[in-house]
Amino acid sequence: MHINELGQLNNVLQRPCTHYDERPEGEVSLLVIHNISLPAGEFATPYVDDLFMGAIDCTAHESFADLKGLRVSAHCFIRRTGEVIQYVPFEKRAWHAGISMFEGRERCNDFSVGIELEGTDTLAYTQAQYNALHLVTKALMAKYPEINRSRIVGHCDIAPGRKTDPGASFDWQYYFDLVF
């Protein structure tokens, strides 16, 4: 896997969304791992894609009511099959972290990449997802050398008390063994 000069991964589905803007300084130095499923705990639905593309039908499920008007994105989404979809080039600021802080610095979206795994805090992730995340991580580290083991975190680490993902079901040791 390789990242081109525009910040796009080769050999993955590109689904350009409009929920991003310019990074204030262009810096990329943090990788944030998330999880998402819509509805919660349901997989292989079109709703995560619809959310990131700004086209979710908030009447499609009762739990979607609070998503009305929400403008969020991630750089990439990794389905349970291992398919990687890129929504925002890594050179741009995706809107994934919300109110957040890392090492005393607020606004993690300014300097981070957000990768969403299709999943929940409590269900195990698939081998295909770990394999894909490993390849994306290696490509990110090659392009952005400031991303290292200490600068790969969960959403829970940068928004404690507000977020819990990727949850206890994410095997950090296994993932780090793959990457390092």
**DSSP conformational letter for 137:** H
Residue among 169, 67, 83 nearest 121 (CA):
169
Burial (0-12, 13-18, 19+ Cβ within 10 Å), 98:
middle
Q: How far is the CA of 104 from the CAs of 101, 150, 155, in angstroms?
A: 6, 14, 15
CB 87 within 8 A of CB 75: yes
116 is catalytic: yes
Which uninterrupted H or E stretch holds 163?
none
Q: Which of 5, 116, 118, 146 is catalytic?
A: 116
Q: Catalytic amino acids?
A: 116
